Amino acid sequence: MSDVPTPQDPRIEQAGASDESIQKVHAILLREKPEPKEGYTPMPLFLLGFITVMIFVCSLYLIHYRGGFSPMVYDERYDPSKAGANAQVAKIDPVAQGKRLFQTCAACHQATGTGVPGVYPALAGSEWVNGSEEQLVRIMLHGLAGPVKVEGKDFNGNMPSFGPGGGYNLTDEKVAYVLTYIRQEWGNKAAEISADKVKEIREKSAGRAKPWSAEELEAIK
């Protein structure tokens, strides 16, 4: 604190500024280091090299993944010169898609497809699942309510609609996937259901606002 004026300092006495209050006011400032300045050390050479490399690498990256600078390209690996020749629509496995969708159904029908005795009918081995497409698609689209016999056992419940008007409102494709899945899992061996078939039935039963009953479905076949 060598430079802090003490009351013995001749400068202070001369100026009559020995008033303690003024000294106090200045004390905090007097002990401060001077306002900051900048040094002028040159930039290290390695830094220049590093920046050059960064610019080079980042430019390569941008050029490589530019996607033709097109507003229509969303996949960075898209290459317009190869597009067309390699154009290939990925094949969708309906069973795998259906398995994913079935997580919703498994809440009642269980992941094993066995249902819950007396409450939710089994899907494994069920004549409704393996039987008529017309009936199965309708159940899925609009739901099923009231008494129904499955594999010789009686059930009386409510299955919600997964089609128009229901909370799920699945597309034709999704209905087809999940039905194909339940028709080919747990030992079931019925034929695949196509999205076109679902569409056809959806149009036929357009306007239906309430779930089917088993008798109505029996009449359709």
Partner 1 sequence: MMVPAPSLATSLNPATSTAEVKRAELREIDASTKWPALFLLGSAVGWLLIGTVFALISSFKMHSPEFLGNYEWLTFGRARTAHLNAVVYGWSVNASFAVAFWLMARLSRSVLRHSGLLIVAAVFWNVGVTLGIYGILAGDSTSIEWLEMPLYATPLLFLAYALVGAWAIITFRFGKSPHIYVSQWYILAALFWFPWLYSVAEIMIVFTPARGTVQALVNWWFAHNVLGLWFTPIGLAAVYYFLPKVLGKPIHSYYLSVLGFWSLAIFYNWAGVHHLIGGPVPAWVQSAGIAASFMMVVPVIVVAINHHMTMVGSFNALKYSPTLRFIVFGAVSYTLASLQGSSMAIRSWAEVTHFTHYTVGHSHIGMYAFFTMVMFGSIYYIMPRILLKEWPSATLISVHFWATAVGVIIYVVGLSIGGVLEGLLMNTPVLAHKLGLQPTDDPVPFLDIVRRTIPYLVSRSVAGVLMTVGHIAFAINFAWIIIRSTQPAASAPTLFRSPPDMEVAAQ
* C-beta neighbour count of 212 within 10 angstroms: 23
Minimum CB distance to partner 1, residue 67 (Å): 3
Q: Which x/- pattern, by CB under 8 A, does the window 20-59 give for partner 1?
A: --x-xxxxxxxxxxxxxxxxxxxxx--x--xx--xx-xxx
Minimum CB distance to partner 1, residue 221 (Å): 38
Buried b (16+ CB within 10 A) or exposed e, 107-117: eebeeebebee
Is residue 123 within 8 Å of 151, Cβ to Cβ?
Answer: no
Residue 122's closest CA among 151, 147, 156?
Answer: 151
Minimum CB distance to partner 1, residue 76 (Å): 4
Give the three-state DSSP class for 136: helix
Give the three-state DSSP class for 165: coil
Structure tokens at 162: 């997964």
Scanning residues 84 to 103, which ones bind partner 1 (CB under 8 A)? 100
Q: Which x/- pattern, by CB under 8 A, does the window 110-149 give for partner 1?
A: ----------------------------------------
User: Does residue 203 belong to the site contacting partner 1 (CB under 8 A)?
Assistant: no
Please give the residue ranges that form the binding site for partner 1 (CB under 8 A). Answer: 1-4, 11-12, 14-15, 17, 22, 24-44, 47, 50-51, 54-55, 57-59, 61-62, 65-76, 78, 100
